[in-house]
Structure 1
């Protein structure tokens, strides 16, 4: 008798008890390296165009990561085919990260850096749709939802690859369009879609961890900026201000906001939960991460020029003040979408930081960092004092 081929075993669907696994944490380490590469790229370019290009690359990295955050909530990605599939994704994403320094300026010799990054990104996106279709199993509405995102994936990836082939100044706009098309089509098809968020705890923990990864990059940036300088009082002051700024950014999100949002998210079910996951986490967490990465760029710039008395400069000021301001705007928008009111202290802090861009530019680098850190510390102190009772009540139930 001929051997009977065993049917492909279906992926195990998650439930409310699902939690983040060590394999997912391992998977995220690739993005730690990628975030570091983006900051290094922008620091090397040190221009407004370089910052724009870095933000575009960050957008592609973010879209890659969030795609798999949905998949890992749908099924157990550390089992069976999923483990092999995500291992392949890790390899492709690491290759993309390796090519980031050459993303827009290919070096002589070797392969085309822009094309390597573009093709690796396309592989990551194709694998996502393929694995998600398999993970959907017999869930016909979910399979249709995944199929709809294929349109954005194909169009976006095609623009990314085309941009790499065209090169020159047009590449930046092709890549920006590729990200915009993919993210835009996905958002439109998700408005009344059929996505599933099986575990609220897994979901919120996953997004909390990616913010931590970005904050980790902000700490690394301090060390990178100071690496070529002897330890001195200015270096130590810069380190103190830089770490204090990172602590404030952590505090503003994790002390109360993330906890309260998790409670509200867990109370929802079905499509209400899925819609909030799309808006508040998949899209509105991008300004948080982008703000942290930009602020890290500014801090690295300060530490690299800590002995200089010349102007901090427009690029560094925009990165430092603008990055911190973007973070506060993203935080306020996130809380508003979760169902809370507008966080006026944070909106006010964001306005102050944006207004400080022209003020910080002519200052010495260390003075500029001290100014931004002071604003962040005052904001944390003001919110913690003003909302002390609410804060205590929320944290008591965590």
Structure 2
């Protein structure tokens, strides 16, 4: 079956049908809308609540709860984003559906504290509401666009089975409740993989809008590192110079992580094959988890005494989060289309990130240096490698300037 061709005809009614977008086939530019930016704000709150809870219990049990709560939030954002990429309209219905999704995410933010304990039912109900709405939207898209129907049917099968498990979990006590959550998330995350053949017949995803959407969400989660650094200093009634220095170092780490993602990933588009788009999209999950974890660990670290010996679990989680972010960025870099006059080396650049991540992980494993300030300095030295490489290749290759590769 050949790829469907067509145009996105403008609609003028106040309540519009979802119609597939063909702008990428026509070479048209799409940009992120104000509505999408507003939609992202409710995720800021939900992520902040989950990160704050993790910072208060920075151990392996807390890490498990953190992942269990944050993955559903990320998946709701992915669902809303992909639907809007396919079927965005200018009608009132688009705003209504966005707002209803925000209500669900707002509920998740409300119940995130103790979301695996006394608020687990509220968390589950909020998730069911948000994902149930997104499932309905995809079915609605398939109803009005027969070419999309094979995809929407496969989506809905996995999503509805997941929602059944989440609904059953309301009456199941822990830990059985969480096995149902895990099973439901596995079904949902697997559903897009069953549509590879069918999606190959659909219009391509926007190379102008999609990378920008993911980049904006990455900005949101990077903000947790800034919040963590500043809130950690503010938690001291009379912060010492060393505490302020520690906060500044944690803030610098967030800056270096921003530099690494946006110089190496966000400025380029993923290769257009459906399989690659899914790999690129899913690779943002460990990236997001690790960046938010760095923010939570920064809060925990800076709120403590600068020269106190770090708890082994805190040190290891901090190191693993930074290393994970660097390795996820390395993988994402391998999913990108080659750019004209690309200044970075296709093999050296990802390997530098993996190497830097390995060094950071080694610091966490050996427990040296023991103090928080010393540990941060060593992590920063490793994290600085990739921004330094980015600046070096940029300024030694003037032809890259004309292509606008440098995001700063």
TM-score over 0.5 (shorter chain): yes
* Cα-to-partner distance string for 1:202-232 (whole Å, 9 max, x where unaligned): 1111011001111111111112222220232
Counting only pairs closer than 5 Å after superposition, residues 91-106 of structure 1 correspond to structure 2 as 91-106=103-118
Counting only pairs closer than 5 Å after superposition, residues 75-90 of structure 1 correspond to structure 2 as 75-76=87-88, 79-90=91-102
Q: Do residues 278 (structure 1) and 297 (structure 2) align? A: no
Which of 169, 181, 185 aligns to 1:179? It is 185
Stretch deviating more after TM superposition (177-186 or 292-301): 177-186
Partner of 2:73: 61
Stretch deviating more after TM superposition (300-309 or 204-213): 300-309
Is the contact between residue 74 and residue 197 of structure 1 (CA under 8 Å) also seen in structure 2?
no
Is there any run of 5+ residues in structure 1 with no aligned partner, and where? 1-5, 107-112
Q: If the length of structure 2 is used for normalisation, what is the TM-score?
A: 0.85
Stretch deviating more after TM superposition (12-21 or 54-63): 12-21
Partner of 1:248: 256
Which of 125, 130, 135 aligns to 1:129? It is 135
- Structure 1 residue 256, shift from structure 2 partner: 3.7
Q: If the length of structure 1 is used for normalisation, what is the TM-score?
A: 0.87
- Structure 1 residue 290, shift from structure 2 partner: 1.1
Which of 336, 341, 354 aligns to 2:334? It is 336
The alpha-carbon distance between structure 1 residues 159 and 249, as it changes in their structure 2 partners (threshold 3 A), is same
Q: Do residues 313 (structure 1) and 325 (structure 2) align? A: no
Aligned to 1:104, the other structure's residue is in SS state coil
Is there any run of 5+ residues in structure 2 with no aligned partner, and where? 1-12, 339-345
The alpha-carbon distance between structure 1 residues 27 and 7, as it changes in their structure 2 partners (threshold 3 A), is closer
Once residues 302 and 34 of structure 1 are traced to their aligned partners in structure 2, the CA distance between those partners, rounded to angstroms, is 22
Which of 15, 30, 34 aligns to 1:22? It is 34
- Structure 1 residue 240, shift from structure 2 partner: 1.4
* Cα-to-partner distance string for 1:232-262 (whole Å, 9 max, x where unaligned): 2122211211111111111111124321x22
Counting only pairs closer than 5 Å after superposition, residues 129-168 of structure 1 correspond to structure 2 as 129-136=135-142, 138-168=144-174
- What is the aligned length? 376
Is the contact between residue 23 and residue 78 of structure 1 (CA under 8 Å) also seen in structure 2?
no
Once residues 304 and 202 of structure 2 are traced to their aligned partners in structure 1, the CA distance between those partners, rounded to angstroms, is 48
Once residues 283 and 292 of structure 1 are traced to their aligned partners in structure 2, the CA distance between those partners, rounded to angstroms, is 15
Across the aligned residues of Structure 1 and Structure 2, the Cα RMSD in angstroms comes to: 2.4
Stretch deviating more after TM superposition (286-295 or 25-34): 286-295
Which of 185, 200, 213 aligns to 1:206? It is 213
Q: Do residues 375 (structure 1) and 382 (structure 2) align? A: yes
Counting only pairs closer than 5 Å after superposition, residues 37-48 of structure 1 correspond to structure 2 as 37-48=49-60
Aligned to 2:37, the other structure's residue is in SS state helix
Once residues 262 and 83 of structure 2 are traced to their aligned partners in structure 1, the CA distance between those partners, rounded to angstroms, is 24
Once residues 79 and 135 of structure 2 are traced to their aligned partners in structure 1, the CA distance between those partners, rounded to angstroms, is 9
Is the contact between residue 286 and residue 328 of structure 2 (CA under 8 Å) also seen in structure 1?
yes
- Structure 1 residue 191, shift from structure 2 partner: 5.6
Once residues 365 and 290 of structure 2 are traced to their aligned partners in structure 1, the CA distance between those partners, rounded to angstroms, is 18
Q: Do residues 238 (structure 1) and 242 (structure 2) align? A: no
Which of 85, 88, 93 aligns to 1:73? It is 85
- Structure 1 residue 156, shift from structure 2 partner: 2.1
Which of 356, 359, 362 aligns to 1:352? It is 359
Once residues 306 and 164 of structure 1 are traced to their aligned partners in structure 2, the CA distance between those partners, rounded to angstroms, is 41
The alpha-carbon distance between structure 1 residues 169 and 363, as it changes in their structure 2 partners (threshold 3 A), is farther
